Structure 1
């Protein structure tokens, strides 16, 4: 299998990862598609230098998150909060409506976080270990634990305040 075929296989296998990062750092379909393409381009550029020293998904997350953050800084776009289309890859029948609304609210609150916090919590919600998150984001494992704790508290506070306003 040549390098182009290997790359195509890796992208097809992990396209959901790229979509999730692109969706979290954009606020409309056009920007999401642009960022998706930019991430794939950056992955292609660095594919030859990936030597398997980490998992493919770890490497891809790192490239995708760095590309998303760089892309936002370069274009000086302000990311507005919009609900993430949770359930795009799930059948609506699988979740009851209340649970789906709660997840959408959670993602709306996640989009209020700063760029690094969003990346960390995305990886955490994906079930990545603290070691994997540290390798992807480039911080220490203990810093990951501290940041996740602070992010969870920040989200809890935001959600509690919003619920208090509605009640």
Structure 2
């Protein structure tokens, strides 16, 4: 194994959670998530020669590649008619078997995220990962202003959907 391969494997191991998070948001079922994670890892390796540490952090570059693969995957699934809404099972990561089941509000959030188009789903994933607007913009290839606008619109839409059921329950 040469130095280039060792460097890639070390970085992939250090940031492997990114691959699993992205795969969990864009693929349903353990087998599909594993397939997507493997597809992402392959594309990361193929693209590794283009990684420029002077232009971006490895994690930022990794998110960009992973999300591009995942969005392409989601589009292919939609074209094939296999699109399924995001639910709590999508976000099950390896080793999460002991985690308490999500409450109703969290389940509603997962459902909401699952209804977003692939770009907004990627945006909200990065936002929930506490990535800065600048980093989100760099990963998604959009302006920081666009990131802020899209996040504001998603939050507004989410508030409307989260408040509406509570209001109708009181009536």
TM-score, normalised to structure 1, is 0.86
Does 2:54 match 1:50? no
1:83 aligns with 2:87: yes
Residue 28 of structure 1 corresponds to 29
Q: Distance in 2 between matches of 1:31 and 1:166?
A: 37
Q: How does 1:62-101 map to 2 (within 5 A)?
A: 62-75=64-77, 76-77=79-80, 78-85=82-89, 86=91, 88=93, 92=99, 100-101=103-104
Which residues of structure 1 form unaligned runs of 5+? none
Residue 110 of structure 1 corresponds to which residue in structure 2? Answer: 113
Structure 2 portions without partners, runs of 5+: none
Count matched residues.
Answer: 163
Q: Does structure 1 conserve the Cα–Cα contact (< 8 Å) formed by 2:19 and 2:66?
A: yes
Q: Which shows bigger deviation, 5-14 or 128-137?
A: 5-14
Q: Does structure 2 retain, via aligned residues, the 8 Å contact 1:81–1:108?
A: yes
Distance (Å, rounded) in 2 between the aligned partners of 1:162 and 1:79: 25
1:99-128 CA distance string (max 9 Å, x none): 744333312211111111100011001000
Indicate whether 1:120 and 2:107 are aligned: no
Residue 65 of structure 1: how far off its partner (Å): 0.6
